[in-house]
Structure 1
Amino acid sequence: MPHIHIRHYPRDFTADQLREIDEAVTAAVTRTFALGEDAVSISLEPVTPEDWQAQVLAEIAARPDQQVRRPGYVNES
């Protein structure tokens, strides 16, 4: 614990980009939760633009109480 699951549009990441994501996210989580690096896991899940509404935006709308940050493109109405 904790596990960070990042969904994103499909893309190819370089080894350096993956290392950057790993280091930045791990540093923030270990500092905030006061845990060692071995306690953190991170996964990346590509989601096609066609599936984004049903898979990601639907979850954002259904779980507003669990969000730390909402995307600026979500309609607030």
Structure 2
Amino acid sequence: MPHVNIKYHSRDFTDEQKQQLAEAISSVIEKHFNTYEGAVSVALESLPAADWDEAVYGPEITGREHLLIKAPNYHTG
């Protein structure tokens, strides 16, 4: 039932790192949605950094602020 789609740029992951990330995310989702492992799906989508504003920031962050449970603060760290 829950599906998580993570979009990112400027990072490479090994297959092992992807698996570890999926397991960690699934575990948290299972707990908070009170569901089982098989109900969770996780996608990891790499985008070119140059496409970030048009593909993600505009349509998914500023265009859907009402859905965000955590907003980015790109000026820290």
TM over 0.5: yes
Tell me the amino acid that sits aligned with residue 69 of structure 2: V
Whether 1:69 and 2:37 are equivalent positions in the alignment is no
Please list every run of 5 or more consecutive structure 2 residues that lacks an aligned counterpart in the other structure: none
Q: Distance in 2 between matches of 1:27 and 1:10?
A: 25
> What is the CA deviation profile of residues 8-66 of structure 1, one whole-angstrom value per residue up to 9, with x for unaligned ones?
00543112211221111000000000000000000011111110001111020011111
Percent of matched pairs sharing the same residue: 35
Residue in structure 1 matched with residue 44 of structure 2 by the alignment: 44
- Secondary structure (helix, strand or coil) at the match of 2:42 reads strand
Q: What secondary structure does 1:51 align onto?
A: helix
State the TM-score, normalizing by the size of structure 1. Answer: 0.87
Instruction: List structure 1 segments (4+ residues) > 2 angstroms apart after TM superposition.
Output: none
Using the alignment, how far apart are the partners of 2:55 and 2:34 within structure 1?
Answer: 31
Count of matched residue positions in the alignment of Structure 1 and Structure 2: 74
**Distance in structure 1 (CA, Å) of the matches to 2:10 and 2:23:** 21
TM-score of the aligned structures, taking structure 2 as reference length: 0.87
- Structure 1 regions of 5+ residues with no counterpart? none
Secondary structure at 2:16 match in 1: helix
User: Aligned partner of 2:73: which letter?
Assistant: G
CA-atom RMSD, angstroms? 1.4
